[in-house]
DNA sequence: GTATATTATATCAGTGTGATATATTGTACT
DNA sequence: AGTACAATATATCACACTGATATAATATAC
């Protein structure tokens, strides 16, 4: 088999919250999963069609006016498929950092070029961290609703790793300084 | 364009150190890049052939006895292609953690199932961290050779993020505890 | 009124994965 | 000496996913 297909599960996951369109699924991937997952239209729309054919989701055409808009809902079968996947052990956690690749082979261009990659990385993390911290603060306030605890877990992961990244940036700059 | 091709650069990077076979490149990816990059035979061998056709590497058949063994070397053109890439800004850093995906949709299976994913993740990190720390200790000892500094950067990245992960694991278990 | 942004779906070439096939050489055990 | 097993070594392929592009309707701003 090739890479195990996981777009199925991402879609079923979001549809387990509420019915929505493929476009809305893409938006949620880019906002809520952004720090640890990604997904493109090129896999979302074909997967939605497969799931519909397999009876795991249902499609409803909602055209106020004339525009095509396909709202998908999860079926009971889809929900049990999602639960099954959630209960199975994790197959793969993957990091793919081009920055680290450029640092590993950095000797070829020397210290200054390599330092620039570290600074760019640091700038990016420093920009993103406040948004993640805001997200954690907002989710931590909500005490009554159970589902927020699960989102809080992933947001906290982002905060803790980003803090680790910034600590590393300091060490890394030191190592390359003359 | 699809996903920007980076196996070219990984191969040129390793060949910039010394000539080697595709099999040896795979081994080095799995040992030295393991914490932030991956690569499979299915992309290594075809890419080696493309690079050879493009004149970025040269192929030499070394068959002591009768076994086929293709040793690749980087050309001057290949080295300048590598340098060019190293100087260009990073295109994409990506995290793809199935564990986080299962936590995000964890409400569907509840606290106990979700806690198990966290424990599995924690066990894995606790097992790997000592090896990374040993790697850092070994690289930090070497003061004279410049190239070790670049490997040290990436090993330290692993240590710092893994420590962040373990800190998060404690917080995460707390959040789900009753 | 009209330019621009957003919503919305669909498709495709290119890149990489994980599995499998094939064959040789080296090592461990009996 | 024989034989199982692991390691070395290359090659190929179905499938998964990306990033780009095409198309078109609706909403918003000026």
pLDDT in tens, A16-49: 999 999 999 999 999 999 999 999 999 999 999 9
Measured in degrees and rounded to the nearest 5, phi and psi for residue A56 equal: -90, -20
Residues 29-68/A with CB within 7 Å of nucleic chain D are: 38-43, 47, 65-67
* pLDDT for the residue numbered B65: 55
* pLDDT for the residue numbered B36: 97
* pLDDT for the residue numbered A144: 75
Interface test with A, best of B30, B120, B168 (most A CBs within 10 A): B168
Contact in structure between B108 and B99 (CB atoms under 8 Å):
no
Question: Mean pLDDT per segment of 10 residues, for chain A of length 178 residues?
Answer: 91 98 98 96 98 97 76 98 98 97 97 98 96 94 86 97 98 92
Interface test with A, best of B8, B92, B154, B167 (most A CBs within 10 A): B154
* pLDDT for the residue numbered B123: 97
Interchain contact A54–B (C-beta under 8 A): no
Q: How far apart are CA B54 and CA B102, in angstroms?
A: 43
Please enumerate in sequence order all residues whose Cβ is within 8 A of that of A129, keeping only pairs 6 or more positions apart, or say none: A159, A162, A163, A166
Q: How far apart are CA B121 and CA B112, in angstroms?
A: 14
Residues 50-69/B with CB within 7 Å of nucleic chain D are: 67-69
> Which residue of A lies nearest to B165 if distances are taken between CA atoms?
A161
- The end-to-end CA distance of chain A, in Å, is 49
CA B167, A155, A152 angle in degrees (round to 5)?
95
The tally of CA atoms less than 13 A away on the side-chain side of residue B41 is 4
CA distances from residue A42 to A36, A71, B2, B21 in whole angstroms, order as listed: 19, 18, 11, 35
* pLDDT for the residue numbered A65: 55
- The end-to-end CA distance of chain B, in Å, is 49
Contact call for B121 and A93, based on CB within 8 A: yes
Helix (H, G, I), strand (E, B) or coil at A134: helix
> Is the model's pLDDT at B95 over the cut of 90?
yes
The tally of CA atoms less than 13 A away on the side-chain side of residue B135 is 22
Model pLDDT for residues B7-45, shown as the tens digit of each residue: 999 999 999 999 999 999 999 999 999 999 999 999 999
Model pLDDT for residues B38-62, shown as the tens digit of each residue: 999 999 999 999 999 999 999 999 8
Per-residue pLDDT band at B2 (split at 50, 70, 90): confident
Nearest by CB to B13, from A82, A105, A146: name it.
A105
Helix (H, G, I), strand (E, B) or coil at B95: strand
* pLDDT for the residue numbered B66: 55
Q: Going along A36-128, which residue ranges are E strands? A: 57-61, 70-74, 93-97
Q: DSSP assignment, residue A33?
A: I
Assessment of whether the complete model's pTM goes beyond 0.75: yes
Distance from CA of A110 to the nearest CA of B (A): 10
């Amino acid at each position: 088999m090739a890479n195990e297909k996981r777009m199925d599960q991402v879609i079923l996951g979001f549809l387990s919250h509420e019915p929505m369109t493929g476009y809305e699924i893409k938006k949620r991937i880019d906002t809520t999963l952004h720090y640890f997952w990604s997904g493109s239209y090129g896999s979302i729309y074909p997967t939605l069609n497969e799931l519909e054919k397999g009876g795991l989701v249902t499609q409803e055409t909602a055209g106020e006016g004339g525009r095509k808009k396909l709202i998908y809902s999860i079926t009971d079968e889809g929900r049990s498929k999602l639960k099954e996947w959630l209960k199975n052990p994790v197959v793969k956690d993957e990091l793919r950092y081009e920055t680290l690749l450029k640092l590993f082979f950095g000797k070829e261009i020397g210290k200054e070029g390599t330092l620039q990659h570290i600074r760019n990385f640091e700038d990016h993390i420093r920009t993103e961290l406040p948004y993640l911290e805001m997200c954690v603060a907002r989710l931590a306030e909500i005490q009554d609703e159970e589902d927020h605890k699960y989102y809080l877990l992933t947001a906290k992961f982002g905060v803790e790793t980003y803090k680790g990244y910034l600590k590393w940036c300091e060490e890394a700059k030191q190592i390359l300084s003359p």
